[in-house]
Amino acid sequence: MSKTYIIGDIHGCYDEFIELINQIGITDDDLVISLGDIVDRGNKSLELYQYFKNRKNAIVLMGNHERKHLNGVLSYSQEIVKVQFGDEYEAFREWLTTLPYYYETPEAMIVHAFFEHDKRLHEQKEEVLAGTTSGSRYLENKYEEGTYWSDYYSGKKPIIYGHHVVGDAPKIKNNTYGIDTGACHGGKLTVIELPSFQIHQVQVQTDHWKEQQSSWQIPVLEAKDWEQMKIDQVYRQLDKLSYKKEPEIQAFLAKQRTWIQHIERVRKQILTQLENRTKELMIQHGDRFNQEVAKLSYKSFVFKAKAGTLALKDLEKTLHTPQKILDLAYDLQLENIPSRTT
């Protein structure tokens, strides 16, 4: 007879997940339900995604970490996963659109994070079920300070949830089962077996999140789309990271600062080149100047240069990202254009 197994927040702890399901003896006929947050913080998020995507009898609920990826709201742990997934990242985000926010079995209601005690399962807000920041704030306004939603639940049907680390053992209160036992922080990975409600656990031997934060700093920084950022945003990013003391981080930041300063100087070269190019076009085309210039991608600058009103501030206003500066520099055939990789 097949069984159902509900797994707490895995957060990339693939090896421990495999150890646990092998320890339990889960078969292909059994239903494996993840409470969500299968990715981020651990060292093998890609492997977990592939496992659940390819397993026939598997359900993954929408956790707040999946929702961050889906909505493009990336903090450091999501940026790491984006780099790890590489070309498979967009397929992963597409897969996320298929995830449900809750699941119900004959024995229990299953959600990632929160549950309003006075609403039925299908009436719950998505942001509450997934445990988003807005969902947390919503419940903070609803419930007394220092209390949790499970303090108010009095329903007959058990609720199994994760999201909030409850310690090494599941938190069982008012017919609710909290089973996020901090796997990615070196805690335990927990499974509840249905219909028996038997608890299964495996100890995680290392703090994966601590290790990941350290080892992925440079790859994440290198993967940032610096060329598409606004110039002032680049400087803000560099200033924000200036507290980092690791030599390799300091070297990277210094290299980026030199690059962006060089990029800014290219604007002045562009101004000079535009003025010279305008004079050449006036001589070359004479009465057909307007018609020929209209074909150029940088025509507005040329018309201003002809009128004698083109200034550096015009370039600063329009060429506000490194990529825009580089594109025009290439169009004008400037030499010694700075590359971020040199």
Q: What is the pLDDT along the chain (342 residues), one digit of tens a residue?
A: 899 999 999 999 999 999 999 999 999 999 999 999 999 999 999 999 999 999 999 999 999 999 999 999 999 999 999 999 999 999 999 999 999 999 999 999 999 999 999 999 999 999 999 999 999 999 999 999 999 999 999 999 999 999 999 999 999 999 999 999 999 999 999 999 999 999 999 999 999 999 999 999 999 999 999 999 999 999 999 999 999 999 999 999 999 999 999 999 999 999 999 999 999 999 999 999 999 999 999 999 999 999 999 999 999 999 999 999 999 999 999 988 887 764
This prediction has a pTM of 0.88
Query: CB–CB of 69/39 below 8 Å?
Result: yes
The burial of 207, by beta-carbon neighbours within 10 Å (0-12 exposed, 13-18 middle, 19 or more buried), is given as middle
What is the three-state SS of the chain? CCCEEEECCCCCCHHHHHHHHHHHCCCCCCEEEECCCCCCCCCCHHHHHHHHHHCCCEEECCCHHHHHHHHCCCCHHHHHHHHHHHHHHHHHHHHHCCCCCEEECCCCEEECCCCCCCCCHHHCCHHHHHCCHHHHHHHHHHCCCCCCHHHCCCCCCCEEECCCCCCCCCEEECCEEECCCCHHHCCEEEEEEECCCEEEEEECCCCHHHHHHHHCHHHHHHHCCHHHCCHHHHHHHHHHCCCCCCHHHHHHHHHHHHHHHHHHHHHHHHHHHHHHHHHHHHHHHHHHHHHHHCCCCCHHHHHHHHHCCCCHHHHHHHCCCHHHHHHHHHHCCCCCCCCCCC
Predicted confidence at residue 340, as pLDDT, reads: 72
* Dist. CA 149–CA 171, nearest whole Å: 13
- Residue 143 vs residues 136, 137, 242, 341: alpha-carbon distances, Å: 11, 10, 40, 53
* Dist. CA 88–CA 62, nearest whole Å: 19
Predicted confidence at residue 323, as pLDDT, reads: 97
**Is cis: bond before 338, omega within 30 of 0?**
no
CATH fold label, 4-211? Purple Acid Phosphatase; chain A, domain 2 (3.60.21)
31-34/4-7 β-pairing:
parallel
- AA identity, residue 165: V
The burial of 270, by beta-carbon neighbours within 10 Å (0-12 exposed, 13-18 middle, 19 or more buried), is given as buried
Q: Give the relative orientation of helices 208-215 and 76-85 as an angle to the nearest 10 degrees.
A: 70
Query: CB–CB of 188/168 below 8 Å?
Result: yes
Residue from 4, 1, 197, 41 nearest 16 by CA: 41
State both tokens at 211. 């290790």
* Dist. CA 309–CA 322, nearest whole Å: 24
Query: CB–CB of 66/37 below 8 Å?
Result: yes
Residue from 253, 188, 171, 190 nearest 218 by CA: 253
Predicted confidence at residue 341, as pLDDT, reads: 61
Predicted confidence at residue 342, as pLDDT, reads: 47
Give φ, ψ of 102 to 5 degrees: -155, 165
Query: CB–CB of 89/49 below 8 Å?
Result: no
